Amino acid sequence: MNREVSDQLIAVKLGGSVITYKQKREAVNVRAIKSLAKSIVRAMRSKDGPKRIFLVHGGGSFGHYWATRFGIGKESHGVSAEGISRTRLSMIKLHSKVLQILCDSGLPCETVAASELVSSSFKEINEIGRQHVSTCFKLGLTPITFGDILLTKFGARVISGDRLAELIARTFDVRRVVFVTNVDGVYEGGDSKGKLIRVITKQSKFVSENQERDVTGGMSMKVSAGLSIAQNGTDVFFVNGKRVEQVVRALCGKPILGTHIPSIRVHS
C-alpha cells in the first residue's frame, strides 16, 4: 500500500521509559533523547540505513502521570475537561522538547497528531493522515507522532505510541518496527533479572510483571502489538535505547542484542 511513502521506510517507537524518567513527574531525559537523535541521524546517513523513518514517542512520566491521575484509560467515560486538557498539555510539553532536540541534531521533523492519523474506529489510519505523511517525505521532513489522548463520542481515551506504531506498520508497509525502551528486550519471567528472550513467536510463553505496567499496558501490550505487526508481515525488534551501537544496528537492520519478533510473511 502506498509504495511511494513506504519505500525503505521503518517505524521507530521511542519509549517513554527511555526519553523520560518514569518515576519522576514530567522529567525529560535530555541526554537519552540527544543520544537517540544522533543514532537516528547516523543510521539514516549510513549506506545500509533506512532512507525514511516514521517516529513515534511515548508519554513516560508526562502523559501517563496525568492520565492516571484523572482516570483516563482505554475506554473512558465522563473524563473531566481538566483531565483532558492537562494530559494533552503535558504531552505537548514533552513532544516540543523531543522536536527541539531532533531538529538541533539535524533531523527536521513534522508533527502528525494522533487525532489526524487515527480513524474513529481506532483501527486504521485516516486518508488525511496518509496524505500528510506523504507530503512530509516529499519535503524531506521526518513525520513524528506520539501517544496521546483522543476525544471520543463519550469522553476521552488514550492511544498508546505502541498502538500507533502498529497502525503505521499496517498502513504504510514498513520494513521493520523498532521499539526502543530502557531494557535490552523482553525477559523471561517478567523482569530484567530473567534471561533475555532473543526471538518471540506466537507460541512463546511470556510473563509480564504488573508492577512495571504503565497506563497503556507496559511490556505485555508492547509484545501483543509486536506480534500483531509481525503477523502482518513486518519484522519487529526491541532494543535498549541506552546502547547506542545497538540502536544504530537495529535501525540499519543488522543483528542486535535484543528481542526479535520475526515477520510471518517474507517481503519480496
Ligand X SMILES: Nc1ncnc2c1ncn2[C@@H]1O[C@H](COP(=O)(O)OP(=O)(O)O)[C@@H](O)[C@H]1O
Q: Angle at the Cα of 1 (from 48 to 129), degrees rounded to 5?
A: 95
Query: Which has the closest alpha carbon to 57: 192, 178, 215, 173?
Result: 178
Report how far residue 13's alpha carbon sits from residue 21's, in angstroms, rounded to the nearest whole number.
Answer: 17
Q: Minimum CB separation from ligand X for residue 222, in Å?
A: 6
54 makes contact, choosing from Mg ion, ligand X, none, with CB < 5 to 8 Å by partner type, with: none
Secondary structure of residue 85 in the 3-state scheme: helix
Residue nearest to ligand X (CB): 15
| Residue indicated by cell numbers 545497538 | 246
Stretch that binds Mg ion, among 3-11, 89-97, 192-200, 211-219 (CB under 5 A): 211-219
Residue choice 35, 105, 208, 263 for contact with ligand X (CB under 6 A): 208
Residue choice 155, 190, 233, 253 for contact with ligand X (CB under 6 A): 190
Stretch that binds Mg ion, among 121-129, 196-204, 210-218, 246-254 (CB under 5 A): 210-218
Q: Minimum CB separation from Mg ion for residue 31, in Å?
A: 20
Strand order, beta sheet including 259-261? 109-111, 142-146, 52-57, 9-14, 176-181, 235-240, 259-261
Tell me how many residues contact Mg ion (CB under 5 A): 1
Report how far residue 169's alpha carbon sits from residue 125's, in angstroms, rounded to the nearest whole number.
Answer: 10
70 makes contact, choosing from Mg ion, ligand X, none, with CB < 5 to 8 Å by partner type, with: none
Stretch that binds ligand X, among 23-31, 81-89, 111-119, 182-190 (CB under 6 A): 182-190
Closer Cβ to Mg ion, 124 or 212, answer by number: 212
Report how far residue 180's alpha carbon sits from residue 185's, in angstroms, rounded to the nearest whole number.
Answer: 9
The Cβ of residue 41 has, within 10 Å, a number of other Cβ atoms equal to: 16
Convert 87-124 to b/e letters by CB count within 10 Å (16 or more is b): bbebbbebbebbbebbeebebebbbbebbbbbeeeeee
Residue 184 binds Mg ion, judged by CB under 5 A: no
Closer Cβ to ligand X, 155 or 190, answer by number: 190
Residue 148 binds Mg ion, judged by CB under 5 A: no
Residue 214 binds Mg ion, judged by CB under 5 A: yes
Binding site for ligand X (CB under 6 A): 15-17, 58, 60, 181-183, 186-187, 190-192, 208-209, 212, 214, 218-219
